[in-house]
Structure 1
């Protein structure tokens, strides 16, 4: 499980950042950049880094150079991730290696980010803050069930608001690194609930889509892209078409999202319906009815109902918003595009339900439209 944000024995409540680099100039630059906000520790080798990371208080984040003698950063990361005491400490690689394959290797080893050298101080500070905020958000989400068990009878309404705020905070952490908006989250959340209610009378879906489950779908829908927090900015924010290698990295956002939810389930010692829906949506909303989607290439009924609903909701919002498309589709054009994908990208019955409530989708989009620049 993730370590809580560390508090040093001296009472210093600042997060602990471990800098691992064998070059004094790099250490001096990073330490000077971070020491005002964080408690900084230094290791000049991979072996020393492993020693420091295993001691209390554990670092909250490790900035790890790749090219070091004896034990390079990749091997250091492997050993950190194989030790239960240090496996969950986020690692950000710092390196002059700029090839996509190098980034892919680092992420495969368990790193959360990859920053190229020479470093930009603003980028380093932003990436460090993002990862520490994500740790805090995970801790808050894991604590919510404790609150619910202890206070449910006397503070149900208050705890419900807290739960929604935590979920939205986590979702916004993911969206903050992308070109999305808080209104995108609210729109897709409302689309999912509307579509689920329409489908709840259908014999194929009525068992799964009880009113209680529709509420849980509504609550979990904002987390569908939380995994984007694990995608490098060079890929996530790239303008224009991604290379095949970059697209493979982008696909990993589904895996990062699922792993975040699985870590919560592991901490709780089990799952519940809310976490099940969140896990299904984050991992499978990019699957396609004909089996050409990712990450598993699931086909037809193999795709969870929750993910099939989210796929239509997310696609509609993408079509009417300035996201991944050349320009913006009108509502009528978006309907045509989704209908064309019936039985290919989308479950035919989900598309049919969408067509029934399409005008309501337009009203939701209007109510929660993105503000336009002056």
Structure 2
């Protein structure tokens, strides 16, 4: 490192001159005659690659200078070689324990100084290279993770869009339910029943996978899916198959991958069980209570709320307050009671989400007084 910068620190001008004369033919040399000045120079540009530091100096000794260098993020990685007349093994051990990279005793031997300096500069160069490589690798990993997240997002939107194409009334339903679930999960993450499950990563995956909940509707015949009226019992049985069809489709996609994909696993749970009810009266498997995955319990409330406040060809939109009262009625029956309680705390957020992602071009106001919906 012939272009390296070395800072020499000594209160004796003669010692500075000797070290400067020895090192200047090979390196760029800067000098400081006190500890205070050394700290200033070390933090300025060009930052030294190595510091030769006298230990015995007035006002601020070398150990104090070293301590302050290590405390400053700008200078803490600069290697320091102590240069001192103290030559006992205890002195050397003390200096090394306090962060010195090496120890040179006075009177100096030119060959020793040059060898020690060269060794420390080569070691620093290797550390800097490794640091740069690590920084590059971290940036590359971050880039690939971002790229992977982007691919996952596009894939989810593409799959969810299939359901939107089949059902023109879906509109912003997917966006709203996605936001509802995130709001509920964030509200519940400190709850004793949910804290272990609703981590930041889990909430992120849950929010990402939520739009897949109705993907199974692509398999429902048009005359049932788009029927402008109440379904017959037989038609309703066919409609209910969309839950399992959705989870089966996701499972087939998941099986093509060598390892499980977290967001697909959650998407499969939500698609399969978001019509289950807390009391066991839901479908397709009649699960009850905590046997229903948390992801599906959250979607159950989000989906029902949005269905109630959204217009359909066979009904008008219900006021948000009326939908809230229906949700409360379903506490301990349709919905997990703690999730209902969280919903009530953040009800205003639900209303704000509904308004933000409303079907403004075709949807009546949330305050429109309307008929109910059989859920």
Q: What TM-score do you get using the length of structure 2 for normalisation? A: 0.57
**Secondary structure at the counterpart of residue 351 of structure 1:** helix
Determine helix, strand or coil for the equivalent of 1:282.
helix
Deviations 1:152-174 (A, max 9, x none): 54333233223212201110101
Alignment of 1:176 onto 2:165: yes
Unaligned runs of 5+ in 2: 1-139, 364-375
- Structure 1's unaligned 5+ residue stretches are 1-150
Cα distance 1:325–1:192, how it changes in 2: closer, same or farther (>3 A)?
farther
Which residue of structure 1 aligns with residue 207 of structure 2? 218
Confirm whether residue 240 of structure 1 aligns to residue 226 of structure 2.
no
Q: 1:372 to 1:153 in 2, by over 3 A?
A: closer
Asked if 1:313 is matched to 2:302, the reply is: yes
Deviation at 1:243, TM superposition (A): 1.3
1:82-161 aligned within 5 A: 152-161=141-150
TM-score (norm 1): 0.58
Deviation at 1:244, TM superposition (A): 1.3
What does residue 293 of structure 1 align with?
Answer: 282
Is the 8 Å Cα contact of residues 181 and 370 (structure 1) preserved in structure 2?
A: no
Aligned match of 1:351: 340
RMSD: 1.7
Greater Rg over alpha carbons, structure: 2
Identify the residue that residue 70 of structure 2 maps to in structure 1: none
Partners of 2:315 and 2:280 in 1: CA distance: 26
Q: 1:152 to 1:166 in 2, by over 3 A?
A: farther
2:192 to 203, 208, 213: 203
Displacement, 1:373? 4.1
Cα 1:182–1:169 shift into 2, 3 Å: farther
Equivalent residues of 2:228, 2:313 under 8 A apart: no
Q: Cα offset for 1:234?
A: 1.1
Aligned length: 224
Is residue 2:153 matched to residue 1:164? yes
Q: 1:319 to 1:325 in 2, by over 3 A?
A: farther
Per the alignment, residue 335 of structure 1 pairs with: 324
Query: In 1, distance between residues paired with 2:194 and 2:212?
Result: 22
Note the C-alpha offset of 1:249.
0.7
Deviation at 1:260, TM superposition (A): 1.0
Counterparts of 2:221 and 2:185 in 1: how far apart (Å)?
Answer: 33
How far does residue 210 in structure 1 lie from its aligned partner after superposition?
0.3
3-state DSSP of counterpart to 1:160: helix
Is 1:187 paired with 2:176? Answer: yes
8 Å Cα contact 1:318-1:324 kept in structure 2: no
Segment of structure 1 superposing worse, 319-328 or 353-362: 319-328
Matches within 5 A, 1:262-281: 262-281=251-270
Distance in 2 between residues matched to 1:196 and 1:331, nearest whole Å:
20
Q: Deviation of residue 332 (structure 1)?
A: 1.0
d(CA) in 2 for partners of 1:163 and 1:333?
A: 36
User: Could you tell me how far apart the structure 2 residues matched to 1:276 and 1:285 are?
Assistant: 14
Distance verdict in 2 for CA 1:256–1:299, change over 3 Å: same
- Could you tell me how far apart the structure 2 residues matched to 1:264 and 1:338 are? 34
